[in-house]
Every structure is written in C-alpha cells, then in structure tokens.
Amino acid sequence: MGSGRPAASRDNLLLRPQAPLQAAERDRKAIMAPQGLGLDSVHVRMRMVDRLKADGLQNPRVLAAFARVPRHLFVDTALVNQAYEDTSLPIGLGQTISKPSVVGAMIALLCARPGLGADATRPLGMCLEIGTGCGYQAALLADLARQVISIERLRDLHLKARHNLDAVRRQLPGSPDVRLVYGDGMLGHAPSAPYDTIIAAAGGRSLPQAWLDQLAPGGRLVAPMDDGRGLGQVLTVVDRHLDGRLQQTSSGAVLFVPLKSGIT
Ligand code: SAH
C-alpha cells in the first residue's frame, strides 16, 4: 500500500542518484560531529572499562559509571582519539583531566567508606569535589552520589565544565546532578556541609582544616597530599568514625596538579 508519494520520490531518486549517498554522509557527519568518535565511542568506552577491570578495578557501580559517562565530551577535539586511553590529558590553563585508573581507584576508595549502609544505592551520599577541571570526574561521581558539589578556582575551567556537563545532559537526560561552584576549594563549601565523601583532584602540602571540619561522621575523604618526608604525593585517606574520631591512612604514590589557594 503506497502513501500516494512513492512515484514522486522514485522520480527524485532517478533524477538525483547521489541523493541517498549525500543524505547518508550528512547523517554520518551529524552523528560523528563534533567529537569525531560517534557511534564507535560506546565500543571504545567499553574497551576502556574492560581494561580498568582487568587492571583491578572491581567495584561494579564504579565500572558502570565509567561505562555511562562519555569521556570524549570532556576533552578537546584534537585529543578526542585519546579520550579512552588510560592517560591524563591537558584541558587548558596548565591543568589536566585525571587518568581513569587513578580516578577509578579514588572513587572505589570513597565507596568503601566506613559509614556506608549495606544497601546504599548512592554510596557516595553527599559528595564534595575540589577541582572540577573539565567536569569529567564530577559526572562519574554524580552517578554514585545523592548530590555532588564541585568547586573550581579557575573561572574559565569552571565555565568549561558547565558547558561540558550540559553536553552530557543532552545525551543522558536527567543526569548528571552536579552543582558547580566557582571558588577556593581549600575552604570546602560550608553551605552544603557535612559531606559523606570529599575528593580532591589537586594535591597540597597538608589537608585543609575546612575539609576535615566538613566531613560527616561515617564519611571518607580521599586526596593527594605531600607525604611530608620528601617522597612526593601519596593518596591520603581520612575516615571520620561515627564517634567523631579521625583516622588517616595513605595508599600509594600519585602525581596530581598542585592545590592552590584563591581564585583566578
Ligand atoms: N577532576 C578534574 C581534574 C582537574 S585537575 C577532571 O576530571 O577534569 C585539578 C583541578 O583542581 C584544576 O582544574 C585546578 O584548577 C583545580 N584546583 C586547584 N586548587 C584548587 C582549589 N583550591 N580550589 C578549587 N580548585 C582547585
């Protein structure tokens, strides 16, 4: 049964034999643009997830977040082919998007916080991130948190992250639920404190007191910090037990951009 138009469209096809090819090329460009990864990005992303798993990242919720968040939307077009490599990449202003395996290890540590109930569907609870950068880690955290507050001290990166997260929201409607704050993260963010989880993407000499003050009982903080013995940065974990006591441990050498005070 025809709609009454087949003859006309058949004529068009006969008169313009390349038309379907041109349409296909237009569609291909629309799908690929502007990131240049297009449909393949899902497969490339799943390969990254498989590698993270093979390298020891076990938490299924963290792996699912990596599978969901399109990392290629957070890197510059020129670097898009490296978006799913396990590597840090420049994001402008001398800063970098962190390496997926390190981000994964840090988030998995947060998920294992002491105050986590057995059936928590949002293991990160109320989460504070210091150092939004391009917003990628914030998007991962949002998959696992009740709410994410993310602070950035460089205005241009704060705005870039806003733009990137809007692009993700167009692909994944409804997520990620991230509140971006332009400010000095060394002061934490008192209005939404206390936090069940605090994660820093930049490393300093010592842990700012504000972070400790804003950590909820049962909460965990993970941050790169100088080990104080000239060995460089180590991943520092601080737990606030339910009785209010703080316990600090460290887990492995890392290399993050410096934590700086003030805003620019
Ligand atoms: N999580 C980011 C990684 C960004 S790199 C991502 O996924 O892209 C670390 C970021 O920390 C940089 O953007 C840097 O500007 C920021 N930073 C350093 N000191 C800060 C501070 N005191 N407050 C807020 N952000 C800070």
Question: What does the angle CA 41 – CA 45 – CA 50 come to, to the nearest 5 degrees?
Answer: 150
Q: How many residues would you count in the chain?
A: 264
Q: 159 C-alpha vs ligand 1 centroid, how far in Å?
A: 13
Q: What is the pLDDT of residues 107-161, one digit of tens each?
A: 999 999 988 876 678 999 999 999 999 999 999 999 999 999 999 999 999 999 9
Atom 26 (ligand 1) nearest CA: 131
Closest ligand 1 atom to 151 CA: 24
Average pLDDT, the chain: 88
pLDDT band at 228 (very low <50, low <70, confident <90, very high): confident
Which residues have any ligand 1 atom within 6 Å of their CB?
91, 95-98, 130-131, 133-134, 136-137, 151-154, 157, 184-186, 201-202, 257, 259-261
Tracing tokens 């520092």 back to the chain, one arrives at 236
Question: Within a domain: residue 77?
Answer: yes
**60-82: average pLDDT:** 95
pTM of the model: 0.86
Catalytic residue among 98, 101, 175, 192: 98
Q: 197 C-alpha vs ligand 1 centroid, how far in Å?
A: 17
Query: d(Cα 214, Cα 197) in Å, to the nearest integer?
Result: 10
Is the distance from CB of 256 to CB of 226 less than 8 angstroms? no
- Indicate which CATH number applies to the domain containing 239: 3.40.50.150
- Helices marked H in the chain — which ranges? 6-15, 19-32, 40-54, 60-68, 100-111, 136-142, 155-171, 209-213
Closest ligand 1 atom to 184 CA: 23
Query: d(Cα 181, Cα 152) in Å, to the nearest integer?
Result: 6
Tokens of 126: 């109320």
Question: Within a domain: residue 2?
Answer: no
Question: Within a domain: residue 23?
Answer: no
- Phi first, then psi: give them for residue 127, nearest 5 degrees: -120, 135
Tell whether the model's pLDDT for residue 61 goes beyond 70.
Answer: yes
Question: Within a domain: residue 65?
Answer: yes
Domain containing residue 169: 37-258
Q: 41 C-alpha vs ligand 1 centroid, how far in Å?
A: 26
Question: Within a domain: residue 62?
Answer: yes
Q: 214 C-alpha vs ligand 1 centroid, how far in Å?
A: 19
Active site residue 88: no
Q: Quote the pLDDT of residue 182.
A: 98
Question: Within a domain: residue 149?
Answer: yes
Closest ligand 1 atom to 91 CA: 8
Closest ligand 1 atom to 258 CA: 18
Q: 158 C-alpha vs ligand 1 centroid, how far in Å?
A: 9
Q: How far apart are the first and last CA of the chain?
A: 66
CA dihedral 206, 209, 215, 216 (to 10 degrees): 140
Query: d(Cα 56, Cα 54) in Å, to the nearest integer?
Result: 5
192 contacts: CB under 8 Å, gap ≥ 6: 126, 128, 147, 149, 179
Is the distance from CB of 90 to CB of 79 less than 8 angstroms? yes
More confident residue, 208 or 41: 208
Q: Which of 127, 182, 189, 257 to mutate to test the pocket of ligand 1 (most atoms within 8 A of CB)?
A: 257
144 contacts: CB under 8 Å, gap ≥ 6: 61, 62, 65, 107, 111, 122, 123, 124, 127
Q: Give me the number of domains the chain comprises.
A: 1
Question: Within a domain: residue 20?
Answer: no
Atom 11 (ligand 1) nearest CA: 131
Is the distance from CB of 101 to CB of 54 less than 8 angstroms? no
- Phi first, then psi: give them for residue 100, nearest 5 degrees: -50, -40
Q: What is the pLDDT of residues 178-209, one digit of tens each?
A: 999 999 999 999 999 999 999 999 999 999 99
Tokens of 77: 């077009």
Atom 16 (ligand 1) nearest CA: 131
Q: Which amino acid, residue 122?
A: R
Tokens of 83: 């978006």
Q: Quote the pLDDT of residue 25.
A: 56
Question: Within a domain: residue 15?
Answer: no
